[in-house]
Structure formats: C-alpha cells, structure tokens
Amino acid sequence: MKKKVALRSLLIGGGFTLLFVALMFRMYYLQVVEATVLLDGAKDVWSSSRELNPQRGAIMDRNGKVLAQDGPAYTVAVNPALVHQLDMEDAVVNVLAPALGLDNPSGRLKLMEKVTEKNGEGEYYKQREIRSEGWKIDGDTADIIREGIKEKELEGVYLIEEQKRYYPADELAAHVIGYWRKDGVAISGLEYEYDAILNGVPGMIRYDRDRLGYELPNSKVLYEPAIDGKSLRLTIDENIQVYMEQAMQATWEQYQPEAITAIAVDPMTMDVLGMANMPTFNPNTYWEFDSQSDFFNTAVSGIYEPGSTFKIVTLSAAVEEGIFNPNATFESGSIRVPGATIHDHNWSGWDEITYMEGLKRSSNVAFVKLGYEQLGYEKLNQYIHDFGFGDQTGIELPGEQAGQISIRGNIPSEVATATFGQGRVSVTAMQQVAAISAIANGGKLMKPHLVNEVLEPETNEVLSRTEPEVVRQVLQPETAAQVAEYLESVISDQEIGTGRRAYIEGFRIAGKTGTAQKVIDGKYSENNQYVVSFAGFGPVEDPKIALIVIVDEPKVADYSEGSGVVAPLFKEIMAKSLRYLGVAAKEPTEKITLADVDTTVPDVVSYTRLAAENELLRQSMEVEWIGTGDTVLRQFPKAGDAAIPGESILLLTSEPQDTHLPDLTGKSLRDALQTAALLEYHAEIEGQGYVVSQSVTNQNGERMVHLKLQAPGQSAEEGQTEEEDLGDQLDEEENGGSEEEWGELPDMAPVPGA
C-alpha cells in the first residue's frame, strides 16, 4: 500500500515538475526569443494613427480670382443600431430625404435601407454613410440637416467634417480647370495635369491608447504635419473668359450647333487669355453630366479640316518666297489639276481678278495657283510643318492631339486641296491660334501656356514662373508685317472682304474666315454638314490679342459664306477684350454698356462674396461692397430689376444696424439715396447736384443722414460761403473752365432704357 502511495506521489510530482519546466521554457521563449515580435504586435494594438489630409492648392486666374479651391464639406452618417433602439427610423428619413434631394418613393426607400442596415450576422451597423447624395455636402445643406436634428431631437445622425473642391465660377473655364472627384481623383484639365503639385503630401499623427481608444497619459505622440499643395496662377483672364462664354452662349442658342470652340491668346507671349468649349459642364456637379461631349476639350483634343483659315499658311509662304504679287491676275472659277477639278465657293468665279482680290474673296483657285503651281509640294509642306501643324503645341493640358498632315507629294489633288485647308490636312484649334499668332508677333512660332506661376499656398511666394518660349522663327518680321496688312484687308474691305462682318470701328483687325465640309464615314458630307471658323488678331499695329472661334454644324440654310455665323462671334469677343485691355480706338466707337450683355440683375442674396462677384462679373456688372461680412444679405437693385448702364450693384454683407454709412461724397442724389435706403437711414436733402458733405445723427431711435448737395459750377450767390466759392474757382481752373464754358452738363444718372 505504501509503495502504491509513493509511486502515485512520484508520478504526480513528476508531472507537476514537467509542467513547471514546460511553463518556464514557454516563458523564456516568449520573453526572450519572441519578445521583439510580440512587443511590436502589442504596440500596434495600443497605438492609434490617423492620416492628416493636406489642403489642395488653389487655382487662380492671372488677376488672383479664385477658380478652384478647397473648402469645408460634410458627409452624412447614421447609426442604425441607435436609431432602431430609439425607434426613430421614420423621423430620420423625414429629415434627411428633403435635404438630400431624396424626397421621392425610391429615394426614401434608399434612405430607409441605410437607416435599418444590418451586417452579415443580423446585427444593426453602428455607422453607415449616406452615399452618394449625403457625401461631402456643402455647408448650407448641412445647416438644414442640423436644424432638422435639433427640431426633431434626433439621435444617431452625424455630420462628419471633410474637405471638398469648390469651383466658385461654376462652368467658367471648366475644360481648362477640369475637376476633382469627391473620392480624391483628379479628372481632366489642369486638376489632372498638375495633380501632384496641387495635392500636397499627407501627414500623420500616432499615439498610444487604452482598450477604449483613449490616449494614454504620458504617451509618446508622433506627429508629421501635412504639407499643403502648391497653388497655380493661370494666364487665363476671367473677364475675357466671361466675354467669350457669353458670346458663345448667344451663338449656341441662335444656331444650335454641335459644338463651339474659342481660344484667345496674347500673341507676343502665347499666354492663353481664354479657352472655352460648348457643350460644357459644371465641375461642382460633374455627376449630373453624362455625355462625353460635355467633358471633351475640343480646343486641344478635337481635330478638323480647317478650310480657308489654313490659307494663312499658303499666303505666308508665298510672301516669304517672293511669289505673291497682289496685282497679278488669274482666271477665277475653277482650276484643273491631275485627278481633280477644283472650284471656288462661287463656282462661276469672278472672271479675271487680282490675287489681292482673290485673297479678299477667299478664292480657292488663287491659293491652288500659289501653293500647288508656284510653291510646289516641298516648300508648301515645309511651311505647314514650320507653322507647327502635325505636332503637339505642348500646352499644359491632357489629351492634346497633333492633328495629321499626310499630304502625298505624288498626288497633285492632295497638294492642291491642302493649299486651302482640306483633304489630308487636319489640325487643332490650338495649332491654328498659334499659327495666326506667329504672323501677329513678327514671325515667331511660340509655345502656348496656361500656367503663369506656381505659388506657395500661404505666402503666395513664386516658386516657378513660365517664361515665353520661341519654338522657331517661321517668317521674317517684314514678311509677317506684310501678311498682317493683307489679312487686314479681308476685314476692312466692306465690299468684297469675306471677313467684313468682323470689322470693328476704330480698330485695325486682321483675320481670315474658313468654311470646311465635314468628312462623315470617310466621305465629304452631302447634307450641309460644315465647320465654320474665324481666326485673327488686333490691333494690327500692336497686337494684344489673337483669337480663333470655331462653330461645328450651325443650323443655317446657306453655307456659302461662313463668316455670317462666326464673324459676329469673333467681333464681339475681340471688341470687348480690346477695350477691356485698354486699347484705345483710333476714332470714336460705340461704348460697351451693361445693356449690351444683360439688362436683368441676378439674385445674389445669400451668395458668398466670391460667388456674388463672379456671378455679377459674368453679367459684366460692377460691384460696390458695403459691410464686412462674407455673405450677401441685401442687394440693390433687387433681383429681376433692369440694370442701369454704368451703375454699380450695391451688395450689403453686414446687418444695417451694424454697418456705418460709407462716404457718399461725389455721388449723385440718386446713388446716395440708394445707399442710405439699403442701410436703413432716413435722408434729409439740402441743395441740388452731387453730395459735397454728409452728417449722421440719431433722432428718436432712427438713424438720419443729412446730405448737402451742390451742382457743378454753383457760385456763392446760390448759397455757398466765400471759402466754398473759392474752392469752386480753383476746381474750375484745374478742370479747364466753368459750366458756362463747357456748355450744358450731361445727365449723370440715366434712367433704364435711356
């Protein structure tokens, strides 16, 4: 019996000993052998890290007007578990549906599915985002949801703060800028081309936490700040861009074409001042546009047969080679080359005419004789390539096409048709405007560019600047000057010039029309499908702007003269741009007024300062700001009223009682009363004419302003003191005389329709 007890004790003791040895070995293995691996794993559990998103750089026009920038946004999320626990499903849907544009049966069903969503184990989720309607919504929509949450005392609905890309000018220059998707992917335009520069570098914060996720006391925090993206200052001028898009919109509505493209550049530097296409899109709501044509940048990616605007190449080559004699004559109408008979657009021609008349009338025969018979294939082809056709211009936009120059020198008909821009010649609008600019700037083909400077986001310090770049000298300066004068006659000759509708009184403009039959399924269309264009520059003596406009398939009955569609479009953009750039007319010209653009005041109440200014700029209306706030509270004239030429739109951004009356000195009575009324001042008037002084008082709780007015040239005998009369005498001496000497003064506050 004792032996059995001893044996059992020995076995049990041995077992415990072995267990202890194994445990000690395991402890040694974990604490010594695997210590580093296990510690790293534990740290991963203890620590929490979060990526810090950088601010994406802004995109501005040449004058600093913001065209794209980051701003606050919010993503709507719900807690289905909490909402279900509190039985608030219907209440949550009732608040979110109208705010997110889902107030319809399918939208409400979609919301209810999110609010009641369960995981694979049948448990309600703790958080679900409302995609995509509730993803990165703006501040106004977020405020509506906050009010609904507060009013209904909801639980389980959250607004997660995020960043979103805003485009304050909406569609303006959309194809140039491109857009940045909500998921952080840059699509098209400069947003895509400069994504790495604009995007910046993400940062990170890392710290130790407990099992509930709270930061541990004295934990080591690792912080790497985000590096914000760089900003871009463009060569685009928002004002010229507005002129272009307004004029294009009118042409779009009148002729209902397939597409319109316009590009304006400074021909001396090849700064792109404006670039626009129609149809277009709004980058703020890119998801609402599903047609590829809306997003297609025809200006650099569309290729077409240019037609007669391409004659500038043949003309330039002929002048440079000493072939063009403006007074020599030829028989117009038609010309026979091996394999084809080529006609003028007027098939019967104009009998025997000079080459100068042939240029003005845009005679195909004249250019076949110059390019095919006299220059020959080798020289013609050389100049075509020297002008940049067949190569990309290198502009900073994705998807640029090189066009195609595939003329076969052994096929006479191909050489002949190339002289007037048809056949085996296809180009881009960007190539065309670069070519016409080479004539304007003294014969230099230059590389176009859109980005003027790359800037530091906070300080606007210039990190890099794009300098003008000459690709090659195509023509001698004297040749370019001669060609410019020849092209000027195409517009200035009001009897036979095909570009005469683009004539602008007081300005010397050079240009060329173009009408090209479209190729459909490998054959020229027989259904009046044409592309019409106009390329030119001005003023001839000191070019400030070169411009091309192209209209694809305008709905017109007669294509015999393409200038009937494009010349007025060219003229409107060119005239407004030249006057905006401060180019003085040689003789009195019709002044541009607000009525030329839009006579109805838009509603900008509740707009931000930037959005309001851009909207009124779009209508060519001046702005006068009153107050220090960021949002428009009131405006005068009110929305829908007729805009008065020369009158500024008054925008109030602070509550009237918190805003001081601005200095009204020099204003007409009408303007002064408008400002006073906007700020809820009662006005007392003394005298007539213009405000010379003002004084503000408070009478029985009402704010009063006393306005003293004086007519120009008013003397002391009409109520002035000797000191005031002496001041008027000095003013008269400085300004060249009194009212009697100048005659009757004009009415300075015209009424609508005057």
Residues involved in catalysis: 308
Two structure tokens written together for 221: 């925090």
Q: Tell me which DSSP letter residue 311 carries.
A: H
SS3 299: helix
Q: Which of 274, 278, 273, 275 is nearest to 249 (CA)?
A: 278
Q: Tell me which DSSP letter residue 466 carries.
A: P
The values of phi and psi at residue 697, to 5°, are -135, 170
* CB contact at 8 A, 66 and 233: no
Show the DSSP H helices in 387-455 as ranges: 412-418, 429-440
Residue 132 CA to residue 326 CA, distance in Å, equals 65
Element (H, E) at 17: helix 2-28
Tell me how crowded residue 743 is: count the other CB atoms within 10 A of its CB.
8
Give me the sign of the Cα torsion angle 84, 90, 92, 97.
Answer: positive
Residue 316 CA to residue 84 CA, distance in Å, equals 78
How many Cα neighbours within 13 Å face the side chain of 611? Answer: 17
* CB contact at 8 A, 268 and 441: yes
SS3 513: strand
Residue 114 CA to residue 117 CA, distance in Å, equals 5
Residue 643 CA to residue 634 CA, distance in Å, equals 16
In the block, which residue shows the tokens 């397939």? 258
Two structure tokens written together for 336: 């026979």
Q: Find the radius of gyration of the CA atoms of the chain.
A: 36
Q: 174 Cβ partners below 8 Å, 6+ apart? A: 167, 189, 280, 281, 282, 283
* CB contact at 8 A, 440 and 537: yes
Q: Which of 248, 272, 242, 243 is nearest to 261 (CA)?
A: 248
Amino acid in position 381: N
DSSP letters of 642-688?
BPPTTPPEEEE-S-GGGSPPPP-TT-BHHHHHHHHHHTT-EEEEESS
Two structure tokens written together for 354: 């000079």
SS3 164: strand
Q: Is 186 exposed, middle or buried (0-12, 13-18, 19+ CB in 10 A)?
A: buried
Tell me how crowded residue 653 is: count the other CB atoms within 10 A of its CB.
18
Tell me how crowded residue 245 is: count the other CB atoms within 10 A of its CB.
24
Q: Which of 452, 451, 435, 375 is nearest to 407 (CA)?
A: 375
